[in-house]
Structure 1
Amino acid sequence: MQTEKIINHIVKWLKDYATNAKMNGFVIGISGGIDSAVTSALCAKSGLDLLCLEMPIHQELNQVGRASRHIDWLQENFTTVKRLELNLTPVFDSLIAALPQVANEEDRFMSLANTRARLRMTSLYYFAALDKYLVAGTGNKVEDFGVGFYTKYGDGGVDLSPIADLLKTEVWEIARVLGINDEIINAAPTDGLWGDDRTDEDQIGASYPELEWAMAMADQNKTSQDFKGREKEVFQIYKRLNTANKHKMLPIPICEIPMALK
């Protein structure tokens, strides 16, 4: 991979898009993970304004610390970076208190995890509207187009996606060239929606390199019958998630009215 050239290509794309849209820069949520770290660094390299939001909701302290130190690093290296910490925990807790109880606590738990992402999206767009910023997405190719590992209208609600054509392993490679802190590069990927230290692999059941392999096999029209053992297990995980999350990856369905009825 021609990493330096890809970095320059993305930075130019970001700057051109914002300039043509007559926007002043970007706003991004910093989670302490590799994807938001790389995306924010690319946005900062554009030379346009970058507002970094920290939006903890019952967050693990190690995630909060990594996010804060990454923004410190951004501000040390780029003059156009601003930061704001927005504690959404009280907002989240107030919403929980206002919602009715449900019979199935497991369903409620999942719904509330996605609610965290949607509260953050709402906050990002609030500040975007104030200062004419674009909300920069942090999804990579495996998450956005493979297994659909994101929240619809949460972290999936963005204006543009700078790294969505990069595999996770490619994001790691770009991070090393950009000089992203080792603690972020070496941290186990997590979506940070649960208030604990569970990782993406804990939730999905497969690592990102495994999922990238499965995505490539699916693109070659392979089936689970072509594999055995762990490969078969990983391929089935990928296909199950890809199928279940198609509603996130495809355009919203529209009921088209026949002309004869109009």
Structure 2
Amino acid sequence: MQTEKVVNHIVNWLKDYATNAGVNGFVVGVSGGIDSAVTSTLCAKTGLNVLCVEMPIHQAESHVTRAQEHMAQLKERFENVDDTRTDLTPVFEEFKTEVFFDGDQATIDMALANTRARLRMATLYYYAGLYKLLVAGTGNKVEDFGVGFYTKYGDGGVDLSPIADLVKSEVYKIGEFLQVPESIMKAAPSDGLFGDARSDEDQIGASYPELEWAMKMDDEGKTAKDFSDREQEVFKIYKRFNSANKHKMIPIPICEIPANFK
């Protein structure tokens, strides 16, 4: 990958889109992970206003520390960057007092995890409206179009996606080029939706390099029977997530009314 050319292309794309939209810049949710660090840095390089928002909800301390380190570094490097912290923990706890819990614990935990993501989305759009900014998405290609590892109308609710055509390994290469803090570069990827330090690999059952491989094999028309042992297991994991989350990757179904009914 021609990293510098890719970076310049994304930065110019972001700047052109924002200028044509008549907005002042971008708002980015910063989690302490590589994707949000790269996205916010790319936005900062446009020279337009960038607001980085930290939105903890019972967050693991390691996530908070990395997010704060990144935002401090970004503000030192770019005069157009500002940051704010919106603690959504009390909002989340109040939400829990107003809903009922039904079903097994795993189902409840997942519903609440997705609620966290949706509270963060609403917060980003609040600031976007306040300062006339675009919400920049932080999803990469494997998450957005491979396994669908994001929350619909949560971290999937954005105005534009600058790194969604890059697989995770490419995001890391750009992160290194952009001088993202070493603590973030070395940290295990995590969505941070469960209030602990569990990684994406813990939840999915496969690493991002494995998922990238499976995505490539699927694009080439391979099937599970073409592989054995760990490769077959990884391919099956990829296909299971891809199938289950397909509804996130396609347009919302519209019930079209026959013309003679109108």
TM range (shorter): over 0.9
- Amino acid of the residue matched to residue 112 of structure 2? L
Residues in 1 aligned to 2:125 and 2:86: alpha-carbon distance in whole angstroms: 13
Check if 1:205 corresponds to 2:205.
Answer: yes
Matches within 5 A, 1:217-232: 217-232=217-232
Per-residue deviation at 1:104? Answer: 2.0
Matches within 5 A, 1:34-45: 34-45=34-45
Please, what TM-score do these two structures have when normalized by structure 1? Answer: 0.99
CA shift digits 1:157-185 (9 cap, x unpaired): 00000000000000000000100011000
Please, what TM-score do these two structures have when normalized by structure 2? Answer: 0.99
- Amino acid of the residue matched to residue 35 of structure 1? D
Identify the residue that residue 143 of structure 2 maps to in structure 1.
143
Provide the secondary structure at the position in 1 that maps to 2:51.
strand
- Count of residues in Structure 1 that have an aligned counterpart in Structure 2: 262
Residues in 1 aligned to 2:260 and 2:60: alpha-carbon distance in whole angstroms: 58
Matches within 5 A, 1:1-262: 1-262=1-262
CA shift digits 1:84-137 (9 cap, x unpaired): 100000000000111112132221110000000000000000010011100000
- Amino acid of the residue matched to residue 42 of structure 1? L
Per-residue deviation at 1:150? Answer: 0.1
- Amino acid of the residue matched to residue 151 of structure 1? T
Per-residue deviation at 1:16? Answer: 0.3
Provide the secondary structure at the position in 2 that maps to 1:53.
strand
- Unaligned runs of 5+ residues in structure 2 are none
Per-residue deviation at 1:71? Answer: 0.3
- Amino acid of the residue matched to residue 183 of structure 1? S
Provide the secondary structure at the position in 2 that maps to 1:28.
strand
Residues in 2 aligned to 1:61 and 1:121: alpha-carbon distance in whole angstroms: 21
Residues in 2 aligned to 1:155 and 1:147: alpha-carbon distance in whole angstroms: 14
Residues in 1 aligned to 2:94 and 2:105: alpha-carbon distance in whole angstroms: 18
Residues in 2 aligned to 1:43 and 1:229: alpha-carbon distance in whole angstroms: 42
Per-residue deviation at 1:260? Answer: 1.3
Residues in 1 aligned to 2:197 and 2:49: alpha-carbon distance in whole angstroms: 32
Question: Aligned-pair RMSD on alpha carbons?
Answer: 0.5
Residues in 1 aligned to 2:186 and 2:108: alpha-carbon distance in whole angstroms: 32
Per-residue deviation at 1:186? Answer: 0.4
Residues in 2 aligned to 1:169 and 1:87: alpha-carbon distance in whole angstroms: 31
Q: Percent identity?
A: 66
Provide the secondary structure at the position in 2 that maps to 1:76.
helix
